[in-house]
Amino acid sequence: MSQTLSIRRGDTLSALARQHGTTVDALAKANNLKDPNKILAGQKLVVPGGASRPQGTTAQTTQTTQQPTRQEQTSSRTADVFTPAQTPTTKSAQTFQDPVRADKRYPTKDGVPLYNQGDSDWENRRLGGAGTVDAKSRNSVQSQGCAISSTAMALSALSGRTITPREMDAYLDKSGGYSGNAVNFEKTGGVTGNDPRITAKRERGTMSPALIDQNLAAGKPVVLGVNYRTKDTAHPDHWITITGKNADGTYRANDPNGGKPITLRREGNSLVATSGNPYRSYGQGVTFTGGKPVRAAPQSSTSGDTFASGGVTGKPNPATAKAGGQVNLDAKQTGPTNAVNNDILGKVKTMGASAATAKQDKAPAGVEGSRKMAENDRSRLEKHKATLQKVAKETGLPSALLAAIASRESRGGGALKSDGTARYDPNGYGLMQIDKKQNPQLIKGGPYSEEHIREAANLLKRNLDTMKKVHPDWSEADQLRGAVSAYNRGVGEKSRPGVYGNTPDEMDRGNKARGIHASTGGDYSADVWARAQYLSEKGF
C-alpha cells in the first residue's frame, strides 16, 4: 500500500528511502522524478509499499552520506548524495568483516573495502574530539569524514584487516591526529600498531597520474584529493581512494560519499570523474609505504561498479586511437618494455608546454599539449627506444626523459636533414641536438647512433651534478628538472653556476631583474617533463 509524504526542509531522497524500506530508484520512478537531486520542502512524495525496514537488513548497503556541505544547501545537492551504497555484484567478492559487528561485512573493490562515511555505525561521531554530534553537524563523520574514510579503506587493504572509519577516528583522537577537524594524514599509518608497519605521506601538488600509476603498479591504493565546489586547489573539497586502473586508461575509485565505486578519466595532469559530482584532482593526495601489496587479476571492463577479490592494475589497451580518428593519449603501451629510472618523473607537478611551443602542433598549452606533441613523435621515437633505454640504464637517468628530450629537440628525428643537422638550426646535431658550436667535442657518431645518445645523456648527467652542488636544498626531482633546463641554455658562467635560477620556479621562466634568462619558449623543462611522463606511460 502506498502512502503520501510532505517533504520537510533537510530531507533527502535516500534518507526517506531508508526510513520507509524502499529504494531511491523506486521513489524516483513512483514520482516521475527526472532528477532525484531536486526535491523541495513542501513537495508531496508518493512512497510505494510504505513498509518499514525489514529486520536484518545490512545498514551499509543502503546508507548514504551527506556531501561535505552545510545541511541548509538542499537545493544544490548533487546526485552522489542520493545514491545508495553499492552491494557486491559477484558471489566471489571478497569481504571485510566489521570488528565490532560480526554480522556486518563490507564488499571490496580491487581488494579495498568500500566504506560509506554516512554509515549509521559512525555517521554521528565527532571529528577532532570525543563523543557524538548530530550527523548533520559540520563536525560529524557523515559531513566531513571523507578523509578518514578514504584513508581507512587504503590502510585496511594494505594491512589485511578491517580498519573502519570508526576505528580510524578513535585512533586519531588518541594520537593527536587532528587539527580541529582536519586530519594529519601522516599520523594515519600508526593505526595498524606497526603490524604491519605502514607510513603515510601527504603529497602536496605532486600527486600526478604518473605517481598514481606507480603506486597502483606496486599494489598500493592511494588517497586522492579532489575539488568540485571550490577553486582552492591546495585544499581539496573531498577525498576518495583510487583502487585500480582499467584497460582503457580510466581509473577505478571508492567514493566514501555514498559508499560507491566511481570512475575517473585523465585530463592532462588531473583525474576527472566521468559522472556524478564533477571531481577534479590538482596534485593533492596521500601515498603509503609498507604493508602488504594488493594484487589481483586485471580488469578489461571500464565499469566502476564491478566488485572483485583484489585487483590493482589493468592490462594495457593495444588500441592507439579513439573513435573518430582522434589520438588516444591514455592508451597504454603494449608489449615488453625495458624502461628504467622513470619513478622520479611522478614526483614533480609540471605545467607543460607554453602556448608558443604547443602551437607548432596546433595543440593547447599545458600538459595536454605536451602529451599530444609526444604522441605525434612516438612512432619515430620507437625506432630508438631500445638505444635510449640502454643508455639510460648505463647513466642512471630516466629513459622516458631521454626520449622526451629527443621529442622536444628534433621531434624524434622528424626535424632533421639528411646530414643530421636541424632544419631550423645548423648548429644542432642529431636526435638529441647537441650544439656543435658550444660542444664540438661531443659530436660523435651518426645522428641516431648510440654514441650520440650517450654523449647527450652524459651532458645531462654533468648538468645534474652541477645542480646538486649548487642547489643541495632542492629535491632530487627539481635538481633533475634543473639539469633538463640547463640542457637547453647551459648551467651559466663558471664563476656563477647558479645563474640559471635560484628557485625551481625560475629554471624556465628566468628572472629579468637578476639577469636570469628564460629557456626557449619559457617552458623547456616543464614541457620536456610532461612529455616524459606521457612517454613513460607508453613504455619508454
Which region among 28-32, 35-39, 76-80, 373-377 has the lowest average model confidence (pLDDT)?
76-80
Radius of gyration of the chain (CA): 26
- Residue 502: per-residue pLDDT: 57
pLDDT more than 90, % of the chain: 50
- Residue 94: per-residue pLDDT: 52
What is d(CA 516, CA 84) in angstroms, rounded to the nearest whole number? Answer: 57
User: Residue 292's Cα: distance from chain center in Å?
Assistant: 21
Say yes or no to pLDDT of 187 above 90: yes
Residue 427 near residue 435 (C-beta atoms within 8 A): yes
* Average confidence (pLDDT) over 185-201: 94
- Residue 475: per-residue pLDDT: 87
Strands 44-47 and 3-6: antiparallel
Among 29-43, 230-244, 464-478, 511-525, which range has the highest average pLDDT? 230-244
> Three-state DSSP class for 270?
strand
- Residue 500: per-residue pLDDT: 52
- Residue 508: per-residue pLDDT: 79
Which region among 66-80, 252-266, 425-439, 451-465 has the lowest average model confidence (pLDDT)?
66-80
What is d(CA 213, CA 265) in angstroms, rounded to the nearest whole number? Answer: 13
Strands 251-255 and 178-179: unpaired
pLDDT tens-digit series, residues 218-229: 899 999 999 998
* Cell numbers found for residue 229: 565546489
- Residue 79: per-residue pLDDT: 25
Mean pLDDT over all residues of the chain? 79
Which run of H or of E encompasses 255?
strand 251-255
- Residue 109: per-residue pLDDT: 81
Q: Residue 512 has what DSSP assignment?
A: G
Which region among 215-224, 334-343, 525-534 has the lowest average model confidence (pLDDT)?
334-343
* Average confidence (pLDDT) over 364-385: 94
Q: Residue ranges per domain, the chain?
A: 88-290, 343-537
* Average confidence (pLDDT) over 135-164: 94
For 343-537, CATH gives: 1.10.530.10
pLDDT tens-digit series, residues 260-299: 999 999 998 899 999 889 999 999 999 999 998 885 434 4
- Residue 418: per-residue pLDDT: 87
pLDDT band, residue 425 (cuts 50/70/90):
confident
Asked: is 88-290 a CATH 3.30.450 domain? The reply is: no
Angle between helices 385-395 and 367-382 (to 10 degrees): 110
396 conformational bin, left if phi > 0, alpha if psi -120 to 50, beta if neither: left
> Three-state DSSP class for 537?
helix
Among 252-256, 303-307, 309-313, 324-328, which range has the highest average pLDDT? 252-256
- Residue 232: per-residue pLDDT: 87
Q: Would you please indicate which residues are annotated as catalytic (active-site) residues?
A: 409
* Cell numbers found for residue 171: 585512533
- Residue 37: per-residue pLDDT: 56
